[in-house]
Chains A and B, each alone.
Chain A
Amino acid sequence: MNISIDVQEQEQQTTITLAGEIDAYTAPKLRETAFPYTEKKEANLVVDLSGVTYMDSTGLGVFVGLFKSLNANDGTMQLVGLSDRLKRLFDITGLADIMNINSGSEGGV
């Protein structure tokens, strides 16, 4: 019942790889760690969710916050590796229409 957050900064983009559960307890840690990477000008953030086993609205709230911050700084966010479960969460909340989401780690499945 915890989360691991791995950040890799490359020239063109920052990749954040998440594993574990995103809920009321872990969402604040995620926000705190990821937010600084959204505040640079024209940042490209890739978030790999393939290791996420549970997520609820607290996690969605974090991604909305990151997305807004990136947008305000002309950056982009891409969510990759979503399981069917996670994809469904973004679908039923309407976020799938707003954000750039790829299910499956290779863009397939």
Chain B
Amino acid sequence: MTYADYVEMKIPAKPEFVGITRLTLSGIASRMGFSYDTIEDLKIATSEAITNAVQHAYKGEEGEVLIGFRLYEDHLEVVVSDSGNSFNFKETKEALGPYTEKSVEFLREGGLGLYLIETLMDEVKVHQNEGITLFMTKYLEGEQVERDAETIST
């Protein structure tokens, strides 16, 4: 599949820059014609991915996070990559999910980020080498039903 446009930004791995990426993303997604609600979902998923990179990959050390936006005709792919120390993505993911605990004292205070990414995006892929690269895809309304069916377990 061909794509027309690509936008990339590189930010310091610091929490104060996560919001700046959201502004760029909002502009791109609204230009592509995504609905208000979908843009909000994209903002959360993308922020979660960057927050993960900032908090886990570099653990307070200096570093950079690369964010790429691939604009296809019917979908947007957001790529977030870091070159920090990988945490075990699969293991981390499996330990997480929505809250089902009944007992308040056992509630986790973090770790919902990856769950939200998977819930809010149509497709999520992970490449893990030196760092972690997350590929997150969101289809424009009406395009996603069939795609979901064939690529749900990547």
**Chain A residues at the B interface, C-beta cutoff of 8 Å:** 1, 21, 23-25, 28, 54, 56-58, 60-62, 64-65, 67-68, 71-72, 85, 89, 92-95, 97-98
Q: Can you give 21 A-B contacts (C-beta < 8 A)?
A: A1-B20, A1-B22, A1-B23, A21-B19, A23-B18, A24-B47, A24-B51, A25-B19, A54-B40, A56-B47, A56-B48, A56-B51, A56-B116, A58-B113, A61-B109, A62-B109, A67-B107, A68-B109, A93-B99, A94-B99, A97-B99
Find chain A residues with CB under 8 A from B116 CB. Answer: 56-57, 89, 92-93
Interface pair B113/A57, CB less than 8 Å apart = yes
3 A-B pairs with least C-beta separation: A1-B19, A94-B99, A94-B98
Find chain A residues with CB under 8 A from B23 CB. Answer: 1
Find chain B residues with CB under 8 A from A56 CB. Answer: 44, 47-48, 51, 113, 116
Interface pair B40/A85, CB less than 8 Å apart = yes
Q: Nearest-CB distance from A59 to chain B (Å)? A: 10
Q: Nearest-CB distance from A100 to chain B (Å)? A: 12
Interface pair B51/A23, CB less than 8 Å apart = yes
Bound form: Cα–Cα A56–B119 in Å = 13
Q: Is B62 an interface residue (CB 8 A)?
A: no
Known contacts A64-B107, A85-B40, A98-B99; decide if A24 and B112 are in contact (CB<8 Å).
no
Q: Is B108 an interface residue (CB 8 A)?
A: yes
Find chain A residues with CB under 8 A from B110 CB. Answer: 57, 61
Q: Is B78 an interface residue (CB 8 A)?
A: no
Q: Is B54 an interface residue (CB 8 A)?
A: yes
B112 contact from A21, A71, A72, A93, Cβ within 8 A: A93
* Residue in A21, A24, A58, A98 with the greatest tally of chain B CB atoms within 10 Å: A24
Which residues 82-119 in B have Cβ within 8 Å of A in the complex? 98-101, 104-105, 107-113, 115-116, 119
* Residue in B37, B99, B115, B116 with the greatest tally of chain A CB atoms within 10 Å: B99
Find chain B residues with CB under 8 A from A94 CB. Answer: 98-100
B98 contact from A24, A58, A93, Cβ within 8 A: A93
Interface pair A72/B19, CB less than 8 Å apart = no
Q: Is B138 an interface residue (CB 8 A)?
A: no
Known contacts A1-B20, A71-B104, A98-B107; decide if A57 and B112 are in contact (CB<8 Å).
yes
Interface pair A25/B43, CB less than 8 Å apart = no
Q: Is B55 an interface residue (CB 8 A)?
A: yes
Which residues 7-65 in B have Cβ within 8 Å of A in the complex? 15-16, 18-20, 22-23, 37, 40, 43-44, 47-48, 50-51, 54-55
